Amino acid sequence: MSCRLLPAAVIGIALVLIAAPRPAAAQIVNVQGVLAGDPEPGWSGQVTVTADWRTGNTDLALIGGSVTTLYRHDRWLGLGIVRGEYAEATGARLSEKTFEHLRGRVELDRRWMWEAFGQHEYDAFRRLSVRALAGTGPAVRLVRGERARLIAGLAYMLEYEALDDRMGVADAGETSIEHRLSSYLTGSYKVDAKIAVTQTVYVQPRIDDPADLRLLSETALTSKLSSWLAVTTSLIVARDASPPDGIEPLDSALKVQLGVTF
């Protein structure tokens, strides 16, 4: 794929997924967007904070944030991500979730890499008391130009889930252990020195039941305000073919984040 074709591919994937019906919830969280480019040697990362406090006609309290840390040395790359969010309006919870991810990557040659990862997640509104997973597999650089990057990966993933025990649902308190394939395609394109577009697509079928499929697309536009400050606008569309009882299969979100890089 040439560098000229990559922006068109990014826009095309985004438009197809925008046309999908309206939201609810799936269970993939994108971590590959951070790795779409080539991180600088040594330590780097980003801190984002979200806060909203309102009183009067609307009583709302929202706080959230994330810390992303990267370390690159020679052929080795390490990634750590921690995220959290809590929101409450007029005494009712609107959001309550945490997320932690660790990933290691080693370059086998100029194109091929091997990855291993582990993850933990809690999300009250997707009925996840615990989601824990671990996986490993190869990745390959398809494009490595000055302005464009494209990477594909495929991994075996072992996943454990425990659902909440809320009243009125058929699967209250259920636990499961599943074997999945996790494949992704992630690319980035630098429009200029300050603006970059990143697109990531995940496909995660269950190995013993491929119809139990999870999909995610995230399109992000990042604008650098300075050497240490950036604004990222992200469109996320995800689908879970077999969600927990009471949870819709489709989820979408439009997010704007201000991040401090280091």
**pLDDT digits 0-9 by tens, 210-233:** 999 999 999 999 999 998 999 999
DSSP 7: H
Which domains are present in the chain? 5-38+101-261 (2.40.160)
CB of 176 closer than 8 Å to CB of 158: no
> Which whole-number Å values give the CA distances from 86 to 64, 98, 109, 132, 220, in the listed order?
6, 9, 43, 20, 23
Residue 35 and residue 252 in contact, taking contact as beta carbons nearer than 8 Å: no
Torsion of Cα atoms, 34 then 118 then 71 then 195, to 10°: 0
pLDDT lower than 50: segments of the chain: 1-25
d(CA 260, CA 66): 11
> By the 8 A CB rule, do 95 and 63 touch?
no
201 residue type, one letter: V
Does this model's pTM top 0.85? My answer is no
Q: How far apart are CA 222 and CA 197, in angstroms?
A: 6
The confidence score (pLDDT) of residue 238 equals 95
Position 35 scores a pLDDT of 82
Beta carbons within 8 Å of 226's beta carbon, 6+ residues apart: none
At residue 27, the pLDDT reads: 66
